[in-house]
Amino acid sequence: MELNRGQPAAGPADPVEQVQKTYADWLEAGARLGLALLVVTFLAYVFDVWEPHVPIEHLPQLWSLPAHEFRAATGGPEGWDWLRLLGRGDYLTYVGVAVLSLASIVCFLRIAPALLARGERLYAAIALAQIAVLVLAASGAITGGH
Amino acid sequence: MRASKFPPMPQRFLLAAVLALAAASPAHAVESAPAAWWVWPVVLFAASFLLGIVAVLAGVGGGVLFVPLIGGFFPFHLDFVRGAGLLLALSGALSAAPALLRDGMANLRLAMPFALVGSITSIAGALLGLALPTSLVQTALGITILLIAVLMWRSKRSVFPQVERGDRLAVALGLRAVFTDPHTGHAAEWRVHRAAGGMLAFAAIGMLAGMFGLGAGWANVPALNLLLGAPLKVSVATSGLMLSIVDTSAAWVYIHRGAVLPMLTVPSIVGVMLGANLGARLLRVTRAEIIRAIVIGLLTAAGLRALLKGTGIWN
């Protein structure tokens, strides 16, 4: 069966397809911001703009350790404690990582009300459940952080 | 036409990738003086760049090649390699998904229910992976990579599966739409079936993605295309969107556990993304079956290396 583009089988205008573009716009902004921050802060780290928490020249003796031993050996942070080390070059790069990892949460927060407003209650519920899962993971409550 | 004594350009890149990985192997490091710290990120960037090219040419995500190869041949602990693998899969997916969503290639309605299941199990997988002994994870990684190589070798793909009727869950979720191929302009209606089976499949895929930091395009695409019956192009594009959601939840586990090492993660992400960009340009001049065979060979070698390392036969 041949149908025109933008004319979903479910009806004249699929509400989920309508919010898809909003999701794409917000995702793109988050990805660009996260990657830019990642690269800029990494360059600042390797060019020693801010003193790192773990001296760079010590890393080759430490990076073969499991993560928990690395943390113990360096006094590294767990959970959201890296925020207290933002003045250190190595942990400043976590800002970019965090932005990349928060991008999808922000997108779902943006589209959940739009789905509800368009009468897509099931998909609004899925979006809210997805937000809950991602926020739970980001909070550190079940992921080993504080 | 004059025959060149050199292999074609993409194959030369592959050869360089293998040589770079071999040169970076710990065996060489032991024999020679310890390298300065900056050597590793530079070699890592070069290796990731080459992996990015290969991954795009072979139609796989970077993570599935990155984790076993870097974990097997570089001195970094597997915890950090998995964290970096997950973040580079996430970065690649986040970069590609917006354009695919706007083109209508990726389908948010199709992605959301299955990504929800996958994101829950990926947290469990990441927690399990960081709790288990490294040797066990390395052995399981080796077995998984070898199975992926077999899957790539044996699996078939269906450009436009014929699904007569959706099952009750698929109908309730409204999993049907119209896909217009941007290249041909051809528009056709599609629907999916076996949605409950799909939920189980994505639960397992999320678990593996979180545990090994592999990304999951290698499994998402067959699950969407062959199990659920979505068109191949929709499956490939939607797989990327799902990765951006599923990997996000597992990434937080690695962040909170301190398993993200910027010196490993950032050169890898930048290297793979730049390599993937070049790979996309080379796509027109490569023979897909040769690249595919080389990647299956690389995966087999990396899987065997992980298996031998995990079992203590070759450390």
- Maximum separation of any 2 CA atoms in chain B, in Å: 65
pLDDT at B27 over 70: no
Please indicate, yes or no, if residue A105 is contained in any of the structural domains.
Answer: yes
Please indicate, yes or no, if residue A144 is contained in any of the structural domains.
Answer: no
Is B264 part of the contact surface with chain A (CB cutoff 8 Å)?
yes
A105 vs B159: CA distance, rounded Å: 32
What is the ipTM, given to two decimal places? 0.89
Contact B173 A122 (CB under 8 A): yes
A90 vs A75: CA distance, rounded Å: 13
pLDDT at B241 over 70: yes
Contact A94 B173 (CB under 8 A): no
A44 vs A90: CA distance, rounded Å: 9
Q: How many CA atoms does the CB half-sphere of B162 hold within 13 Å?
A: 2
State the residue range of the domain holding A66: 15-139
B83 vs A71: CA distance, rounded Å: 15
**Span A69-89, mean pLDDT?**
95
In this prediction, residue A10 carries a pLDDT of: 47
Domain count, chain A: 1
Please indicate, yes or no, if residue A5 is contained in any of the structural domains.
Answer: no
Is B314 part of the contact surface with chain A (CB cutoff 8 Å)?
no
Per-residue exposure over B62-101, b if at least 16 CB sit within 10 Å of its own CB, e if not = bbbbbbbbbbbbbbbbbbbbbbbbbbbbbbbbbbbbbebb
Contact B249 A137 (CB under 8 A): yes
Beta strands in chain B, from DSSP E residues, in sequence order = 176-180, 187-191
Please indicate, yes or no, if residue A2 is contained in any of the structural domains.
Answer: no
User: In this predicted model, what pLDDT tens digit does every residue of A115-140 receive, in sequence order?
Assistant: 999 999 999 999 999 999 999 999 98
Query: CB of A54 within 8 A of CB of B214?
Result: no
Please indicate, yes or no, if residue A4 is contained in any of the structural domains.
Answer: no
User: In this predicted model, what pLDDT tens digit does every residue of B161-217 receive, in sequence order?
Assistant: 888 888 999 999 999 999 888 778 888 899 999 999 999 999 999 999 999 988 788
Which of B34, B35, B94 is facing A31, going by the closest CB pair? B94
Is B274 part of the contact surface with chain A (CB cutoff 8 Å)?
no
Please indicate, yes or no, if residue A107 is contained in any of the structural domains.
Answer: yes
Higher pLDDT, A82 or B277: A82
Q: Cα B281 from chain centroid? A: 19
B197 vs B228: CA distance, rounded Å: 8
Please indicate, yes or no, if residue A121 is contained in any of the structural domains.
Answer: yes
Is A59 part of the contact surface with chain B (CB cutoff 8 Å)?
yes
Is A97 part of the contact surface with chain B (CB cutoff 8 Å)?
yes
Rounded to a whole number of angstroms, the distance from the CA of A43 to the nearest CA of chain B is 10
User: In this predicted model, what pLDDT tens digit does every residue of B69-120 receive, in sequence order?
Assistant: 999 889 999 999 999 999 999 998 998 899 989 988 899 999 999 999 999 9
Please indicate, yes or no, if residue A94 is contained in any of the structural domains.
Answer: yes
Q: Chain B contacts of A98, Cβ < 8 Å?
A: 255
